[in-house]
Amino acid sequence: QPASMNAFELISLNRGLNLDNLFET
């Protein structure tokens, strides 16, 4: 449940940075 997570875990798990996409150009 997202509400039971801490915020940084939520950001980390949801690929908040999208940097993976750099390698799929």
Binding site for another protein (CB under 8 A): 2-25
Alpha-carbon distance of 7 to 14, in angstroms, equals 11
Judge whether 10 and 2 are in contact, CB under 8 Å.
Answer: yes
Alpha-carbon distance of 24 to 15, in angstroms, equals 15
